[in-house]
Amino acid sequence: MKVIFAFICFCVFSFASEAQSLRKLLEEEQTVLFSHRVALEPSWVENSVYSLEKSGEMGFMFHEIDVVESKDGVLYVLHDKTLDRTTSSKGAVKELASAFLDGVKLNGLKERLPRLEDFLAISKEKGFYLMLDVKEASLDKVMSLVKKFDMLERVVLLTFSKERTAEALALEERFLLSVLITEEDDFDYYLCKTEQPYYLAAYINKNGPVELFQKARSLGLPTITDVLGAIDAQAQEEGIFVYTDFLQKRKPNILVSDYPLQVELRMSMD
């Protein structure tokens, strides 16, 4: 098992290191696995620099992160709108200034609440790819910072509403943009909103019709989905073969999991 695990980590590392553009990477006939909140398993501290660097040491280079904005406009990596669940402090981030937030510590670590610029600097240096789930923060501010660190080709920005997608498409920067597809008509809607469909990716719910995945492929759009929640939990109880049927039917270009290394192991066995 240790030999297989080491081989997987080496392959993932090599796969990431050789590629420059995430969009180009998705043209390969291989599902790219992203960790959920930078944790390779739920016991890791989510959205932390510690977990980001530890995963890099293990050869894993693809991570979903969450972005929030402080009262004075500083961007932080945090999933919740409040500090209550994952840090030593309490309160809504948007009501707190960076002078206070910079002193907040993550639960289980001595690490302070990380700024987005911390993640971008490390990711640029080590070749990580990031999936950005931006909560209520300004997309202009987020993507301007991504551009500053020369990471536009190594990120995918998630949007889950037509309003948020329109905000992203209005930006000057070009980057891979995920749009939510719940029915076939959504494809026409989003394709008509841009002159550069190459930069669109279809986010399809794991419980969505398999036909939507097939439609996206026929249009040349990469697909993104996840196995968070019930599927990941079932795999822990019954074995990692649970992932096989899901992957074979949908063939997603990007998959997000709380156990990405286990999914990678399953894929290597098929």
pLDDT at 3 over 70: no
Q: How does pLDDT run across 23-43, given as a tens digit for each residue?
A: 999 999 899 999 999 999 999
- Of all residues in the chain, the percent with pLDDT exceeding 70 is 93
pLDDT band at 6 (very low <50, low <70, confident <90, very high): very low
Q: How far is CA 26 from CA 69, 125, 183, 232, in A?
A: 30, 22, 23, 23
pLDDT at 46 over 90: yes
pLDDT reported for residue 153: 98
Residue predicted with more confidence, 270 or 129: 129
Domain that holds residue 12: 2-269
Residues 137 and 75: beta-carbon distance below 8 Å: yes
Q: How does pLDDT run across 152-209, given as a tens digit for each residue?
A: 999 999 999 999 999 999 999 999 999 999 999 999 999 999 999 999 999 999 999 9
Q: Which residue has the tokens 């081989």?
A: 7
Residues 246 and 227: beta-carbon distance below 8 Å: yes
pLDDT at 5 over 80: no
- Average pLDDT in the 104-114 region? 97
pLDDT at 19 over 90: no
What are the residues facing 66 on neighbouring strands?
A: 133
- Average pLDDT in the 79-83 region? 98
pLDDT reported for residue 12: 46
The sign one gets for the Cα dihedral 243, 18, 156, 102 is positive
Alpha-carbon distance of 110 to 87, in angstroms, equals: 10
pLDDT at 14 over 60: no
pLDDT band at 270 (very low <50, low <70, confident <90, very high): confident
pLDDT reported for residue 132: 98
For the chain, the domain total comes to 1
CATH number at residue 242: 3.20.20.190
